[in-house]
Structure formats: structure tokens, C-alpha cells
Structure 1
Amino acid sequence: MKKILYIDMDNVIVDFPSGIAKLDEKIRSKFEKHYDEVEGIFSLMDPMPNAIESVKKLAEYYDIYVLSTAPWNNPSAWIDKINWIQKYFGKDRDSVLYKRLILSHHKNLNQGDFLIDDRTRNGVDKFKGEHIHFGTDQFPDWQSVMDYLLDI
């Protein structure tokens, strides 16, 4: 039986700053420090380096789900996140992330073995499994995460 691995989206598999960079100056100025509330911003984002390939490889060894939080005040983010997953991983049943997107502000309610996340908010700090803190000295990038998870 495969272990359960949850993966956050923003700044883990999705390069959030790449979406900000695509906004015009007027929108950037209006939403400064609240970029996640810009309608459609999540559809503008590029994948993090090596994220797509890493998720596909990890799916061979783990039962993978994307566990992300969507801004409460930006309903477009909810559909944009589904569309992003489908764009980069496919829509068909053979996709490693087919029907495997969970949006929650309470990540600790999900049971699993690992959670790759760049923050400790939204219940990450109370997650019962192991938090792989992406973007830290220990796990600065996808190669370090792969090295760790494929060596267990």
C-alpha cells in the first residue's frame, strides 16, 4: 500500500511570483500585498522548476493529492486551480492528479504520511504526518524533496 503524499500548490508546484509578473502595473498597485485576490491570477502562473516531472515520478511510489488553500475572497481561484492542474497534468483518468485536488483552509483535517508545503499556516503546523517544508534550507527545491522521498 502506497503512503499518502499531499502537495501544496502555491510556491511548491506553482510559481506564484510568475503570475504577479504578468499583471499590469495598475493591478499590481491596487492589489499590493493581496495578489491572491486578483481575479484570474492563478491561471497566469507557471510551474515551479522540475515540479511537473517530480510529481509524476513521485506518483509511482506515493498516493498523491494536491492539498491547497484558495482565497476566500477570490472565487475565480477555485476554478483556476482546477484548470491549472488539468493544463499541466491532463484531464483524463490516466492523469496522476485526476480528481486529486483538495481545497481546504484546514489542512490538518487530512490524514496522510507527508505534506509538502512552503508555509505552516492553514493547519499545516497541526498536520499529523511529516511536513516537508519546501523552500527551506533542508528542502530548497524539488531535487532535494525527490532525494528525500525516494530514499525512504
Structure 2
Amino acid sequence: MKKIVYIDMDNVLVDFASGIAKLDQKTQIEYDGHYDDVEGIFGLMDPMPNAIEAVHKLAEKYDIYVLSTATWYNSSCWTDKIEWIQKYFGLESDSVLYKRLILSHHKNLNMGDYLIDDRLRNGADKFTGEHIHFGTDKFPNWQSVLDYLL
């Protein structure tokens, strides 16, 4: 049986700053400090460098799921996240992430071996498996994660 790896979206799979950069200046000013409330912003974001390839490589060895939190006050976020996965990974049943998106404000409720997440919020700090803290000195990028897990 394969070990389970959960992967966060924002600033792990998805480059949040790339979505902000695509907003017009008026919207950037209006939503400064709470960009996740901008309707449609999650659909504007580009993948993090090497993230798509890394997921495909990890899926050869692990049972992969996306475990992300969707903002409570911007319902477009929920739709944008699944559409983003379908755009970059495909929506066919043989896609590596087909029906593998979990949205939760309590990541610690999911049982698994690894959680790749850039933050300690939303239950990541209480996850019972190993937290791979993405964006830190130990795991600054996807290559460092692949080196560790493969």
C-alpha cells in the first residue's frame, strides 16, 4: 500500500502572488491585505515552479491528494480551486488528481503520512503525519521536497 501525501495549494502548488499581479491596480488597492476575498483570484494564479512535474513524480510512488483551505467569505474560491486543478492536471478520470481535492479548515482530521504545506495554520500544526514545511530553509522548493521523498 502506498503512503499518503497531502499537498496544499496556495504558495505550494499555486503561486498566490501571480494572481495578485494580474489584478488591476484599483482592485489591488481595495483588497490590500485580504486578496483572497477577490472573486476569481484563485483562477488567475500560475503554478509554482516545478510543482506540476513534482506532483506527477510523487504520484508514481505515493497516493497523492490536494488538501487545501478555501476562504470562508469568497465562495468563488471553492470553484476556482477545482477548476485550477482541472486546468493544470486534466479533468479526465486517469488524471493524477482526479477526485483528489479535499477542502478543509481542519487539515489535522485527515490521516496520512506527509503534508506538504507552507503554513502551520488550519490544522497543519496538528497533522499526525510528517509536516514538510514548504518554503523553509529545509524545503525551499519542489526539488528539495522531491529529494527528500524520493
Would you say same fold, with TM above 0.5?
yes
In structure 2, the partner of 1:80 is: 80
Shift of 1:125: 0.4
Q: Does 1:95 align with 2:95?
A: yes
Output the CA distance in 2 between the equivalents of 1:96 and 1:115. 17
* 1:131 CA displacement: 0.1
Letter in 1 for 2:109: L
Root-mean-square deviation (CA, aligned residues, Å) is: 0.3
Which residue number in structure 2 is paired with residue 38 of structure 1? 38
The TM-score with structure 2 as length reference comes to 1.00
4+ residue segments displaced more than 2 Å: none
AA partner of residue 104 (structure 1):
S
TM-score calculated relative to the size of structure 1: 0.98
Aligned positions of 1:1-152 closer than 5 A: 1-150=1-150
Same amino acid, percent of matched pairs: 78
* Unpaired runs of at least 5, structure 2: none
CA distance in 1, matches of 2:63, 2:21: 33
Q: Hey, what's the Cα distance between the residues in 2 that align with 1:86 and 1:38?
A: 21
Match of 1:121, SS state, is: coil
Q: Give the CA deviation at 1:11.
A: 0.1
What's the CA shift string for 1:49-76, capped at 9, x where partnerless?
0000000110000000000000000000
Which runs of 5 or more structure 1 residues have no equivalent in the other structure? none
